């Protein structure tokens, strides 16, 4: 029977799951995901986590609780940096410790440290450490690492074709990919949804924002549909380098979309209690006002956000774009 590795369906799952899953599967492990987010998962996460954590971190606790009794290991990497001279939010750095100290009776945690701020090859070192949980054969670990990289590359290509990350993961898992499948882009207008992947693609926590927009005839694009090169080029327009990688992705993509003739508006989605989100939203709004008069909507979500309020704001926003277009 293969060893079961649990991966919480939260936080950086929406960015790196294909790499993680490809790596563990290549080492013969079975990858077990937590369920899609439910009210029960949110409630358990809120109860078990520290009070001042942001919503996505509280939610992560709920996903760990959902997994912990059905796996042999939990994969909770300590993510410090994924780009040279840049950092991820400090909450990711302390994640394995927060989980260990707040949730009892956990299976062993694979808590490799990913820190690429100085050297890219530190990524391999981190995965070599994870590989030791499964084999003493360094060649097998290296092969598994490259398998993971290949999967991640496939994921990026699908996102760039127009799929959203949760759709790309679904396509890859079903083995369908490539031809005869086009992303759901059928609307008469297009809105750029700019926010952390773990907020906008989790349908429970975002209150199904993407599907709601699509049902109103709006096509949705996000930072994940852009290449790394575009994000780098556009975010470099800031007078000072943004050293938070996720914030840089949001700002770079917003700068790109606000210049595009294909985009009718920008929605920024922020988490209540998130420091980085408060200034990325502000920067985007200021630049938008200066450069182009595109409709902008800032949505802040937390565990108490009501669905009716979100729907009303979305409907008003979409109607306003339609009237504006008609008037022009
Ligand atoms: S960037 Fe914001 S939402 Fe994300 S983990 Fe950090 S504080 Fe939470």
CA gap 264, 163 in Å, rounded: 19
Per-residue pLDDT of the chain (328 residues; tens, 9 = 90+): 789 999 999 999 999 999 999 999 999 999 999 999 999 999 999 999 887 889 999 999 999 999 999 999 999 999 999 999 899 998 899 999 999 999 999 999 999 999 998 888 889 999 999 999 999 999 999 999 999 999 999 999 999 999 999 999 988 876 544 444 455 556 789 999 999 999 999 999 999 999 999 999 999 999 999 999 999 999 999 988 888 999 999 999 999 999 998 899 999 999 888 888 888 889 999 998 888 778 999 998 887 777 888 889 999 999 999 998 888 7
Q: Residue 297: CB partners within 8 Å, gap ≥ 6?
A: 265, 266, 267, 268, 313, 314, 317
Distance CA 4, CA 16 (A): 18
CA of 114 to the centre of ligand 1 (A): 17
Residue 96: closest CA among 190, 207, 221, 8: 8
Closest CA to 33 of 88, 93, 87, 74: 74
Name which of 209, 226, 218 is nearest 159 in CA terms: 226
- 36 to 11, 66, 174, 201: CA distances (angstroms): 13, 10, 17, 11
Strands 4-7 and 30-33: parallel
Looking from the CA of residue 89, the nearest atom of ligand 1 is: 6
Mutate to test the pocket of ligand 1, among 277, 279, 280, 302 (most ligand atoms within 8 A of CB): 277
Cα–Cα distance measured from residue 304 to residue 282, given in angstroms and rounded to the nearest whole number? 23
Which residue's CA lies nearest to atom 2 of ligand 1?
Answer: 274
Residue 130, φ and ψ in degrees, nearest 5? -65, -35
Q: Note the CATH number of domain 186-327.
A: 3.40.50.11900
CA distances from 18 to 22, 200, 309, 315 (A): 6, 18, 34, 34
> Strand order of the sheet with strand 218-221?
218-221, 189-195, 265-271, 296-301
Locate 48 and state its tokens: 């078990």
Q: Where in the chain is the domain with CATH 3.40.50.11890?
A: 4-173
Nearest CA to ligand 1 atom 7: 274
State the distance from the centre of ligand 1 to the C-alpha of 121, rounded, in angstroms. Answer: 26
Q: Tell me, what's the pLDDT at 96?
A: 95
Please answer whether residues 295 and 267 qualify as being in contact, where contact means their C-beta atoms are separated by less than 8 angstroms: no
> Ligand 1: residues within 6 Å at CB?
54, 56-57, 89, 91, 196, 246, 271, 274-277
| CA separation for the pair 186, 204 (Å, rounded) | 23
Q: Does CATH place domain 4-173 in 3.30.465.10? A: no
- Cα separation of 104 and 92, whole Å? 20
Q: How far apart are CA 30 and CA 73, in angstroms?
A: 10
Contact criterion met (CB below 8 Å) for 162 and 185: yes
User: 208 in the Ramachandran plot: left (φ > 0), alpha (ψ -120 to 50) or beta?
Assistant: left
In the chain, ranges of CATH 3.40.50.11900 domains: 186-327
């Amino acid at each position: 029977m293969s060893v079961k590795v649990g991966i919480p369906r939260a936080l950086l799952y929406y960015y790196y799951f294909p790499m993680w899953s490809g790596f563990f599967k290549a080492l013969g492990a079975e990858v077990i995901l937590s369920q899609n987010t439910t009210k029960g998962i949110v409630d358990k996460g809120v109860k078990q986590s520290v009070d001042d954590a942001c919503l996505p971190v509280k939610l992560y606790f709920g996903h760990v609780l959902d997994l912990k009794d059905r796996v042999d290991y939990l994969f909770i990497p300590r993510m410090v940096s994924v780009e040279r001279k840049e950092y991820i939010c400090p909450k990711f750095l302390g994640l394995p410790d927060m989980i260990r100290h707040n949730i009892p009776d956990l299976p062993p945690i694979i808590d490799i440290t990913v820190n690429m701020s100085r050297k890219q090859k530190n990524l391999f070192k981190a995965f070599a450490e994870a590989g030791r949980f499964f084999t003493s054969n360094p060649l097998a670990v290296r092969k598994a690492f490259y398998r993971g990289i290949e999967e991640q590359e496939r994921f990026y290509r699908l996102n760039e074709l127009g799929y959203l990350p949760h759709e790309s993961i679904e396509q890859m898992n079903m083995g369908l990919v490539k031809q005869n499948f086009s992303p759901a882009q059928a609307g008469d207008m297009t809105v750029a949804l700019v926010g952390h992947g773990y907020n906008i693609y989790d349908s429970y926590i975002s209150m199904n924002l993407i599907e709601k927009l699509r049902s109103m005839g709006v096509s949705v694009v996000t930072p994940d549909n852009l290449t790394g090169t575009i994000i780098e080029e556009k975010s470099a327009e800031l007078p000072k380098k943004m050293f938070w990688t996720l914030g840089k992705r949001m700002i770079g993509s917003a700068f790109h979309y606000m210049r595009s003739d294909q985009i009718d508006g920008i929605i920024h989605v922020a988490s209540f209690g998130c420091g980085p989100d408060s200034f990325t939203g502000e920067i985007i709004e200021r630049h938008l006002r200066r450069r182009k008069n595109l409709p902008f909507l800032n949505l802040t979500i937390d565990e108490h956000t009501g669905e009716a309020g979100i729907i009303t704001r979305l409907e008003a926003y979409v109607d306003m774009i339609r009237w504006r277009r008609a008037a022009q």
